[in-house]
Amino acid sequence: MILGAVTNRVTELFPFGGHAPVGDVTLDEAFQLLRNSRRRHVVEYVADMEQSEKASVGELSTYIASLEFEVEPDRVSAKQRKTVRSALHQTHLPKLADVGVIEYDQRKSEVTRSPDVDQLKTVIAAARDQFPVGDSP
């Protein structure tokens, strides 16, 4: 029942046959993108940035590691940051960039937002309204 409520809410947000306006991302693809907590954290972080603002991969790594290891950002160890950074660089940022949710400059290790990122943040918020406890790393 609860999953149905989330799916109904997402369908309200993307009423065009289950297709999200993020490029050509379908509803299933949006859920696939958002199934990983690191990608959700990137989406939420980047969605809160100004359009012209850039975030370094190091900044994102520190932010996400602080959430995963439940420590203040200034207490994140180099090992924790490196673990997250590697996964972001190799997997998560390219996946989000491939569908146009973010722009990822691997050479500069910088991320900028796309206007479409707000739509995925809305999907995350709708799901969190239904499932407020527990966000797996």
- Give tens-digit pLDDT for 76-126: 999 999 999 999 999 999 999 998 889 999 999 999 999 888 888 988 888
Identity at 136, one-letter amino acid code: S
What topology does CATH give the domain 2-130? Arc Repressor Mutant, subunit A (1.10.10)
Mean pLDDT of the chain: 84
**Using alpha carbons only, what angle is made at residue 48 by residues 47 and 49, rounded to the nearest 5 degrees?**
90
pTM: 0.79
- Residue 83 contacts residue 65 (beta carbons within 8 Å): yes
Model pLDDT for residues 21-45, shown as the tens digit of each residue = 445 667 788 888 999 999 999 999 9
Please state the domain extents for the chain: 2-130
